Structure 1
């Protein structure tokens, strides 16, 4: 029995386009017995509050009918919302289509409501678990979260074990439709383990089909997989690309094991995909503008933008001030030359002088915080002027470490349409830069070795205000991503007063983050809708 893992990149809300893509695959693979598409693949994931719009649901129902008409002897399993008895909630469903009609509908049981997930807002849990028989074989079909609660009573998140119920009802093969977003190391440390444990626990093959593509902040990596009945990875789709994998069900247990080695290159692929899809799917523009300071962050963002959009669509802009070092401008220009992009220089000295005359009564600087921030805001205004006049999207260049502690300027360096590296701690930015330079020097060597500086006052260094990033980043990762307590972080070897100080700074900067551009998520816990902290609070 030939089974197809159809790893597609749907666009949220593009029901017509997604339907066309699904039908094209069905018609070009009529020899396959079963074709499996990802979770909610007809409407794209996550559709969020589009699910509350009646016309949206009506259009999906028509799309299901259209897809069904294209299905002949194959069995097509496609993800879609379906109506429930509840007045305002739907089911998250796997629809089995065969010979022009709906053969069966399976509903998702476990609805995640942690991190970036909010499925209880939209969906009802499936009331029953049922197997689907295709040519005498019982398939246990589940949807994403349903497979994440296997035989782990001590730490189980849910009371229902979906796979166990499917096993009790006679399932012999597990199929899982998924829309599982990416974060660094998730595949090796979590997802692959879950799938292997499921296969070994029940002694059945597991066929897992994941969505790929960028949708707003979330990036889906694909990596659809086939696991043998003894828990070996024997089939895998490409990472961060659309792909179709054919597998013969009877041969699964005879295929040699595949090894996966996730490294920093996956973060690069994820961010490139996130940028490309953000531009392509929003349709706002095909062109970007990046403020090039000559520093590590803007250099990395510019490199990623060029790979995602093409060098002809990226503009680099240097905006030196009286405090800018000569080497910063030189490094920015060299980066632009290495990438082959258009490069412009606009000095901010004259507008800065105008502010000094207005507020200081002369062009003499007091060198306070207000003057530092106004330089960043002048630069933000320049980039937004270019954005409006030339229809370019501004890519902001702040990293996660800066965003965490508020080392950024509202309406200045935070102004833009997409925050590319806002989920990368500073030390990870350096690692990514070294990877970008692995074959030849694209980012000038000086950028990687000079002390980080905002260059908003004479001889300024980041370390004047912040702990060294080698100290700051592990504390931030422990607090934000690993959600450790103060005592747990102190036990890692950090002074308690420093830990408390950093945590307080992080939470007091929440008002800034609420006004930040959407950022691409590549860690287990990003700022944004996956971390919902109050601005007004006195806990920390």
Structure 2
């Protein structure tokens, strides 16, 4: 039998549009002789639907799509697909009042009818996940015989609980262990696994380990695309019983991977072979994956929110340069506008670098000096007295620029992209209602050191970002001679401390034990904690590390260590 892995990019809530994608993928799979097509987790709704799952009208639309579209489509080709499904039962609190529950289900349709349903057992409730808010875990796990094969159906987190791989069992139940005990011949996992740098390598290694442990082949189908701050890489794959990757779908793009399933001798394990265009081997994850993730995240965020063009404030610095280059790659240069807004403190080099960058990218460019507006503010706020050169005067320049960008956004229909990086956002080195103004924070989860890596990758074939941008000291240019290192430690040091505190969740003593100055560590942590109120008001940021600000790190604003 041939099995098609349909790696799709759904739009959350667009059930009609998602069904159209499903129908198109099925036509392609039939053309390649597939006898079963497998779609990702919650493919009908897109993942994560969040509180749309609390709306009855939304759930009714899902039910109508399953009954009126998906089931009839299975007359021509059996379908395994993810969707939320209503169930009934008694609440766990002990009440005898009947209540409706939702299940995150894998639904196998054949011949126009539901052939089998397996609900998700392990509901992640950490980082960006809160599935226990919406779903009830599966009450049973059983293999199903389909077309002569014993299939073990799992959904995303269900395969992330191998005590031998993690050296501990994360959940009491291990669905894979139970399914293999039920004489499963082929494990299938439908997933919506969001990307962060290093995630693909971890996922592939874990799947290979599972296949070798149970001597069973595994088919893994992942969602692709950007949905709000989350980016899904796809990278669907097939692993044989020996742990070899025998088929690999594209990363950060829709794809259809077709596998030939056979038997290796009488009573032997199943064999999997990719048909035609399937890649094999291991993906090599490097900075290009972060670049592709951000490009996809920008493109999908604008497309799915109804925008077609983006606006970037160009300071002549590294962050705005990288943001503009990513936007041009995501949307096409013709859909990107760069705006330079020099003040009395802007260096001639920065003004030149902004203009050259725009020319190299082929994006539209405007220069709108802010000196007149800045002088008017100073005169008004200082009651005619001399400038004080304080933080308020520094920040008003950023706020003037933010207002200019939002004026253009409102009048001309651009989405403003903010340019602050994770290092700055972490310690509050950003201005509310100034450089934080916009609809999407492209680099909000990219540490400063990684921003430079991205810049070098962007320049891999020719100089797009001027060399001077990469070598000059970073500066906000809000006062004479200002550089970032006046207020911050070197970014190599800062980023290492931030990674330990934010991503690894280490305390001050543990971080200092790595060789950092204890007082510096305490100061960085203090700045991170105090800046929470700013981050709460920031634009959504694209997630590319294992712990991003936002839904994955829900810290209080008003708190103190005691």
TM-score (norm 2): 0.94
Determine if the alignment matches structure 1 residue 399 to structure 2 residue 435: no
Shift of 1:25: 2.0
Determine if the alignment matches structure 1 residue 273 to structure 2 residue 296: yes
Determine if the alignment matches structure 1 residue 262 to structure 2 residue 285: yes
Shift of 1:340: 1.0
Q: Per-residue CA shift, 1:3-52, capped at 9, x if unaligned?
A: 11100001000001101111222234233111100000000000000000
RMSD: 1.3
Determine if the alignment matches structure 1 residue 350 to structure 2 residue 372: yes
Shift of 1:362: 2.9
Within-5 A mapping of 1:53-68 = 53-65=55-67, 66-68=69-71
Shift of 1:392: 0.5
Q: Which residues of structure 1 form unaligned runs of 5+?
A: none
Shift of 1:169: 1.2
Aligned to 1:112: 124
Q: Give the number of aligned pairs.
A: 538
Match of 1:453 among 453, 458, 475: 475
Aligned to 2:520: 498
Aligned to 2:218: 206
Within-5 A mapping of 1:24-35 = 24-30=24-30, 31-35=33-37
CA distance in 2, matches of 1:399, 1:254: 43
Aligned to 1:427: 449
TM-score (norm 1): 0.98
1:140 aligned counterpart, secondary structure: strand
Q: Per-residue CA shift, 1:458-512, capped at 9, x if unaligned?
A: 0000000011101101000111111122222112110111111111110110000
Q: Per-residue CA shift, 1:307-356, capped at 9, x if unaligned?
A: 11111110100000011100000000000010111111111111111111
CA distance in 2, matches of 1:115, 1:146: 17
Greater CA deviation, 114-123 or 226-235?
Answer: 226-235
Determine if the alignment matches structure 1 residue 136 to structure 2 residue 139: no
Aligned to 2:341: 319
CA distance in 2, matches of 1:533, 1:336: 38
CA contact (8 A) 1:353 1:363 kept: no
CA distance in 1, matches of 2:444, 2:167: 35
CA distance in 2, matches of 1:363, 1:244: 68
Aligned to 2:5: 5
Aligned to 1:158: 171
Aligned to 1:183: 196
CA distance in 2, matches of 1:318, 1:239: 35
CA contact (8 A) 1:84 1:124 kept: no
Shift of 1:162: 0.3
Determine if the alignment matches structure 1 residue 473 to structure 2 residue 486: no
CA contact (8 A) 1:424 1:523 kept: yes
Determine if the alignment matches structure 1 residue 75 to structure 2 residue 98: no
Determine if the alignment matches structure 1 residue 523 to structure 2 residue 545: yes
Question: Structure 1 pair 76/254, CA: closer, same or farther in 2 (3 Å)?
Answer: closer
Aligned to 1:331: 353
Aligned to 2:93: none
2:433 aligned counterpart, secondary structure: coil
Determine if the alignment matches structure 1 residue 49 to structure 2 residue 51: yes
Shift of 1:254: 6.7
Greater CA deviation, 360-369 or 159-168?
Answer: 360-369
1:519 aligned counterpart, secondary structure: coil
CA contact (8 A) 2:75 2:110 kept: yes
Aligned to 2:530: 508
CA distance in 2, matches of 1:254, 1:32: 13
Question: Structure 1 pair 534/384, CA: closer, same or farther in 2 (3 Å)?
Answer: same
Determine if the alignment matches structure 1 residue 168 to structure 2 residue 190: no
CA distance in 2, matches of 1:363, 1:89: 66
Q: Which residues of structure 2 form unaligned runs of 5+?
A: 90-98, 264-270
2:510 aligned counterpart, secondary structure: helix
CA distance in 2, matches of 1:32, 1:356: 70
Question: Structure 1 pair 476/88, CA: closer, same or farther in 2 (3 Å)?
Answer: farther
CA distance in 2, matches of 1:47, 1:254: 34
CA contact (8 A) 2:82 2:106 kept: yes
Aligned to 1:94: 106
CA distance in 1, matches of 2:381, 2:100: 55
